[in-house]
Amino acid sequence: MVTELGHFALILAFMVAIVQMVVPMVGAHKRWSGWMAVAEPAANAQFFLTAFAFGALVWAFVTSDFSLRLVVLNSHSAKPMLYKISGAWGNHEGSMLLWVLIVTLFGAMAAWFGGGLPPSLKARVLAVQSAIAVAFFAFILFTSNPFLRVAVPPFDGQDLNPLLQDPGLAFHPPFLYLGYVGLSMAFSFAVAALIEGRVDAAWARWVRPWTLAAWVFLTIGIALGSWWAYYELGWGGFWFWDPVENASFMPWLLAAALLHSAIVVEKREALKSWTILLAIIAFGFSLVGTFIVRSGLLTSVHAFANDPERGIFILVILAIFVGGALTLFAARAQAMEAKGVFGTVSRESALVVNNILLAVSCFVVFFGTLWPIVAEMGFGRKLSVGAPFFNSAFTPFMVALGIILPLGSMLPWKRGKLGRVTWSLRYAFGLALALALLVWAMQTERSALGPVGLFLGAWITFGAVIDLWSRTGRKGSLRRMMRLPRADWGKAVAHTGLGVTMFAIAGLMAWEVEDIRVARMGEPFEVGGFTLTLEDVQRVQGPNYYSTMGFVKLERNGRQIATLNPEKRDYPVARMPTTEAAIDYRILRDVYVVIGDRQNDGSWTMRTYIKPFANWIWAGSILMALGGALSLSDRRFRVAAGARKTPAKGVPAE
Amino acid sequence: MKRLLVILLLLASPLWAVQPDEVLDDPVLEERARELSKELRCLVCRNESIDESNADLARDLRLLVRERLVAGDSDEEAMAFIVDRYGEYVLLKPTTSGANWFLWLAGPVMLLIAAGVGWGYLRARARAPAGQENAALSEAEKERLRQILDE
């Protein structure tokens, strides 16, 4: 019953979305305020109906309603409650419903918080947002309906893929989708502005919070996924340059570029058409990401044929939205003349360089991800593009970005002197260089990776501190620093986060220690200054799995610091084994232990890694997200309702 | 997220990456073998190197790499030997031969183009007549400003 209501609500939401797509758009064109006003209640209705449909699906999962095909395929009555709930989006149909739910949520939020928007812009934004929703409602209802029943319900389900039964992964898709779909808001604003033929500082001030929010969610989503890969997949990798990962990384890079270029539009009324273009492309990449993940195109060219209907549907959506928006852009871009005048050495220029580096690095990832298909179809060569390529082709852009970041973020608007900025950063540079040299001298390997990473991380971090300090005036005072706008703090925190992550990745890759051996029971062995002893191996039963659990004593300098329990789990229903690494998390390093197979003589294969600074990767990501959130809570966004009323010249250029 | 679905395929076999019995006695050779393994693709997996993969085929390839190194091959010879047998599909880092130049040059060329366009834009901005940005408000804006001030 609830299921049918959910299905019905979904169809109703589809109808409302069609109305919201057409009526306010016509109203805005003809200046009929009654028609424009339809947008707001429609956005609310659409959201609540979709939320109800999604709730019905979750309900079916929670109550283990095995008359629903989706529940049978992805759930089991013995599964823990958290994973029953997360099972609702741990599959294609459910995740698309979550996607469209977030599209309507953002539409409704634009209606709730859009009080200060000019009525015609608001109507157009909501109409464009609704057009996106219409496309995805149609996609769900016609190709991937989650509410299909089975004629003969089985007694129990087939269980969710055990790798997905994990807290990190339960929340990974919602955050990622909030990020992907958040970019749809920037897209809607861009298209609406193109139709209006007007882009100004107020517009940028409107777009930036949405982009910032999307970027924060993407950061959290990607970090969660990477953290999950680290502890779950059993060898402690955190990034694989897999097409599916790249699909989320490309929008992240473009969102980062977009939120920086929107600053230039907001403060200086320049880079307008580029910002519009970037907003369109960033959402385009979200769609490309969905397409890549949903069609299976990149697994292999042939897997695409397995489900051509869905893949082609998303491709058509992509073509219509991005193609349409780009055509509109080509027709209207001339109307966006730049107003701001600035010298070639200025904050504006630095942000242009930031955008060039981010956009081109995204292009490299895009090209590398698609090249195997192009090479196969165009040149008849079957080849692979993997991590080694991306490591060498992508990293230089990030190094360049890290080097210019502190300089660029301190350059004044309009016109600056590079010499003066460099001089004020001399301590940051000296300190970072000294640290890097010290580590270079201390380490035994010849690899430059660690010291370079440390230099960049320290340079960015100290640079952010000096930037913050310099804002408190000539003498600097701690009290004034605390009272700086949150946007300034957000900038410093987010940049520090980037520095921390850069350092951590370099440090982990440079200084990791690995040990592979057959461990005999009770016989201690040394790895990187730690003593490990496999003391026992037991069979343990979990709620929906059996586990082979090792008991490993971890000692340092003769003192026991932890007992680690690496596991091998076997999920009988899903017929799948998983490895559960045991990790001793510490600030400076993780000890990462995996247990393998039993040998004939009763010993066990074991892998042990010492992973320095592993936690710092995610600590840096959290700092980045926190910085974004701080900026988002800045007063000028909270009072943005009045933003449009401020004429452009009144926006201080700091 | 769907990466997992593929990874399960690998986990389906209870083996895992580099086994203790594969490790060579000579640490220098072993180190070279590990480095080469990181650049070779496991043919039955998705986007994983044989160094990370649990699949049987990856193990065979790892053993083959070690065999060649023990036989005295240089890194290049060992790689060439494997590419001869399995095709360039096994290379995670594509060669720079033929059309692959597009791949390797795409980034640098795009950077040059972007830098050129960016520089042109910055020059144009620096030369633009000053005072333009203080252009008068439109009639509608003046009207709105007046309303706001009145409120």
Buried b (16+ CB within 10 A) or exposed e, A522-553: eeeeebbebbbbbeebeeeeeebbebbbbbbb
* B15–A344 C-beta distance less than 8 A: no
Mean pLDDT, residues A239-255 taken together: 89
* A269–B122 C-beta distance less than 8 A: no
CA distance B44 to B36: 18
Amino acid found at A543: P
Work out the angle between the directed axes of helices A449-470 and A387-410 (0-180°, nearest 10): 20
Residue B136: both structure tokens together: 């008068």
CA distance B100 to A310: 31
Nearest to A200 by CA among A292, A276, A141: A276
User: Is the minimum CB–CB distance between A600 and chain B shorter than 8 Å?
Assistant: no
Burial class (CB in 10 A: 0-12, 13-18, 19+), A641: middle
CA distance A370 to A462: 38
* A364–B107 C-beta distance less than 8 A: yes
For chain B, helix (H) and strand (E) counts, in that order, are 6, 0
pLDDT in tens, A76-112: 888 888 888 888 888 888 888 999 999 999 999 999 9
pLDDT in tens, A535-574: 989 998 888 788 999 999 999 988 999 899 999 888 887 7
Nearest to A46 by CA among A112, A84, A101: A101
Amino acid found at A76: H
Other CB atoms within a 10 A radius of the CB of residue A150 amount to: 14
* The pLDDT of residue A639: 56
Reported as half-sphere exposure (CB side, CA atoms, 13 A), residue A455 has a value of 17
CA distance B124 to B111: 20
Dihedral class, residue A529 (left if φ above 0, else alpha if ψ from -120 to 50, else beta)? left
* B144–A389 C-beta distance less than 8 A: no
Predicted confidence band of residue A238 (pLDDT cuts 50, 70, 90) = confident
Given a cut of 50, is residue A650 above it in pLDDT? no
- Residue pair A275/A281 in contact by the 8 Å Cβ criterion: no
Percent of chain A residues topping a pLDDT of 70 = 94
Residues 6+ apart with CB under 8 A from A478: none
B132 to chain A, minimum CA–CA distance in Å? 6
CA distance A535 to A524: 9
* A518–B20 C-beta distance less than 8 A: yes
For chain A, helix (H) and strand (E) counts, in that order, are 23, 10
To 5 degrees, how large is the angle CA A296–CA A299–CA A305? 50
What's the mean pLDDT when you consider all of chain A?
A: 86
Given a cut of 50, is residue A654 above it in pLDDT? no
Mean pLDDT, residues A632-651 taken together: 54
What's the mean pLDDT when you consider all of chain B?
A: 77
pLDDT in tens, A111-162: 998 877 888 899 999 999 999 999 999 999 998 898 988 888 888 887 777 7
CA distance A341 to A529: 59
- Chain B residue whose CA is closest to A517: B20
Segment 532-551 of chain A within 8 Å of chain B by CB: none
User: Is the minimum CB–CB distance between A322 and chain B shorter than 8 Å?
Assistant: no
pLDDT in tens, A352-411: 999 999 999 999 999 998 898 888 888 888 888 888 899 999 999 999 999 999 999 988
CA distance A566 to A167: 18
* B107–A360 C-beta distance less than 8 A: yes
pLDDT in tens, A292-325: 777 655 554 444 445 667 778 888 888 999 999 9
CA distance A624 to A219: 7
pLDDT in tens, A571-597: 887 777 788 889 999 888 999 998 888
A363 to chain B, minimum CA–CA distance in Å? 7
Helix (H, G, I), strand (E, B) or coil at A73: helix
pLDDT in tens, A427-469: 899 999 989 888 888 877 667 888 999 999 999 999 999 988 8
To 5 degrees, how large is the angle CA B23–CA B24–CA B29? 120
pLDDT in tens, A260-290: 999 888 888 888 889 999 999 999 999 888 7
Segment 44-83 of chain A within 8 Å of chain B by CB: none
User: Is the minimum CB–CB distance between A371 and chain B shorter than 8 Å?
Assistant: yes
Residues 6+ apart with CB under 8 A from A367: B103, B106, B107
* The pLDDT of residue B61: 87
Nearest to A250 by CA among A216, A298, A288: A288
- Chain B residue whose CA is closest to A221: B1
* The pLDDT of residue A244: 81
Helix (H, G, I), strand (E, B) or coil at A472: coil
Burial class (CB in 10 A: 0-12, 13-18, 19+), A474: exposed
* The pLDDT of residue A296: 58
A595 to chain B, minimum CA–CA distance in Å? 10
pLDDT in tens, A461-475: 999 999 888 888 766
- Residue pair A588/A612 in contact by the 8 Å Cβ criterion: yes
Q: Which residues pair with B49 in a beta bridge?
A: B41
* B39–A341 C-beta distance less than 8 A: no
* The pLDDT of residue A20: 94
User: Is the minimum CB–CB distance between A650 and chain B shorter than 8 Å?
Assistant: no
Helix (H, G, I), strand (E, B) or coil at A197: coil
Cβ contacts (< 8 Å) between B115 and chain A: which residues?
Answer: 356
Residue B73: both structure tokens together: 């091959």
Between residues A421 and A9, which one has the greater pLDDT? A9
Amino acid found at A563: T
Predicted confidence band of residue B110 (pLDDT cuts 50, 70, 90) = very high
Given a cut of 60, is residue B141 above it in pLDDT? yes
* The pLDDT of residue A553: 92
A16 to chain B, minimum CA–CA distance in Å? 31
Burial class (CB in 10 A: 0-12, 13-18, 19+), B131: exposed
CA distance A239 to A225: 9
Cβ contacts (< 8 Å) between A363 and chain B: which residues?
Answer: 106-107, 110
Given a cut of 80, is residue B44 above it in pLDDT? no
Q: Which of A341, A387, A597 sits opposite B128 (nearest CB)?
A: A341
